[in-house]
Amino acid sequence: DAGITQSPRHKVTETGTPVTLRCHQTENHRYMYWYRQDPGHGLRLIHYSYGVKDTDKGEVSDGYSVSRSKTEDFLLTLESATSSQTSVYFCATQGALTDTQYFGPGTRLTVL
């Protein structure tokens, strides 16, 4: 597995507050992804990055922004959290020469 950590692992916040989730990898993988997991929907892509400062939207990007200033870190920001963003968030990475995404342990976010 790629060395992928996510922080925090659990967070409870209130509607309207900003939230930032961090994904850190030690494998020097080029590609990084943020997915959310909701019951009945499997995992859906929020944003992805194909290099430092290079990011693009996924299928459920509304209300989220991302940044990647270093190869090893990919940040997901909820500018103003809403209850619909209560979910489990997974980060994944993929090397340029591999075809497999490996996932971090997940962050459980609850927006009250």
Partner 1 sequence: AQKVTQAQTEISVVEKEDVTLDCVYETRDTTYYLFWYKQPPSGELVFLIRRNSFDEQNEISGRYSWNFQKSTSSFNFTITASQVVDSAVYFCARVNNNAGNMLTFGGGTRLMVKP
The letter for the amino acid at 27 is E
The letter for the amino acid at 22 is R
Looking at residues 3 to 22 of the shown chain, list those that interact with partner 1 (rule: CB under 8 A): none
By beta-carbon proximity to partner 1, the closer residue of 85 and 101 is 101
Whether residue 72 contacts residue 24, with contact meaning beta carbons closer than 8 Å, is answered with yes
* Binding-residue total with partner 1 (CB under 8 A): 26
Residue 30: closest CA among 58, 65, 1, 55: 55
What's the first-to-final CA gap in the chain, in angstroms? 34
When asked if residue 44 is in the footprint of partner 1 (CB under 8 A), the reply is yes
CB of 30: closest distance to partner 1 in angstroms?
10
CB of 46: closest distance to partner 1 in angstroms?
10
Beta bridge partners of 37: 43, 88
Residues of this chain that interact with partner 1 (CB under 8 A) are: 1, 31, 33, 35, 40-45, 48, 50, 56, 58-59, 88, 90, 92, 94, 99-103, 105-106
